[in-house]
Amino acid sequence: MEKKLLIIDGLNLIRRLYAALESEQDSVRRVERTQSIAVEALAKLTHQFSPSYAVVVFDSHGKTWRHQMYPEYKLGRVPMDDNLLESLPDFARVFRFNHLPCLRIDGWEADDLIATLAVKASSHNIKSYIVSTDKGFTQLLGDERILQYDYFAKLGYDKIWVPGKYGVEPHQLVDYWALVGDTTNRIPGVKGIGPKTALTIIDAFPTIEEIYANVSSFSERIQSLLAGGYEQCLQSRSLVALKTDVDIGVRLSQLRYNPRKVG
Sign of CA pseudo-dihedral 193, 195, 196, 198: positive
Residues of the chain with CATH 3.40.50.1010: 4-162+243-255
80 forms beta bridges with none
The type of residue at 85 is L
Q: Are 255 and 128 in contact (CB under 8 A)?
A: no
Q: Are 180 and 189 in contact (CB under 8 A)?
A: yes
In a structure prediction context, what are the per-residue pLDDT tens digits for the chain, which is 263 residues long?
789 999 999 999 999 999 999 999 999 999 999 999 999 999 999 999 999 999 999 999 888 999 999 999 988 788 889 999 999 999 999 999 999 999 999 999 999 999 999 999 999 999 999 999 999 999 999 999 999 999 999 999 999 999 999 999 999 999 999 999 999 899 999 999 999 999 999 999 999 999 999 999 999 999 999 999 999 999 999 999 999 999 999 999 999 998 765 33
Q: How many CB atoms lie within 10 A of CB 24?
A: 15
- Give the residue range(s) of CATH 1.10.150.20 domains in the chain: 163-240
Burial status of residue 165 (CB atoms within 10 A of its CB: 0-12, 13-18, 19 or more): exposed
Q: Which of 162, 168, 146, 157 lies closest to 244 in space, CA to CA?
A: 146
pLDDT at position 261, please?
53
Q: Which ranges of the chain does DSSP label H, i.e. alpha helix?
A: 10-19, 27-49, 65-69, 82-97, 110-123, 161-166, 173-180, 195-204, 208-213, 220-226, 230-240
Domain 4-162+243-255 has CATH 3.30.70.20: no
User: Which CATH number, 1.10.10.10, 3.90.1640.30, 3.20.20.80, 1.10.150.20, labels domain 163-240?
Assistant: 1.10.150.20
Residues 6 or more apart whose Cβ sits within 8 Å of residue 61: 106
pLDDT of residue 260: 67
Distance CA 161, CA 204 (A): 22
Write down the pLDDT at residue 263.
39
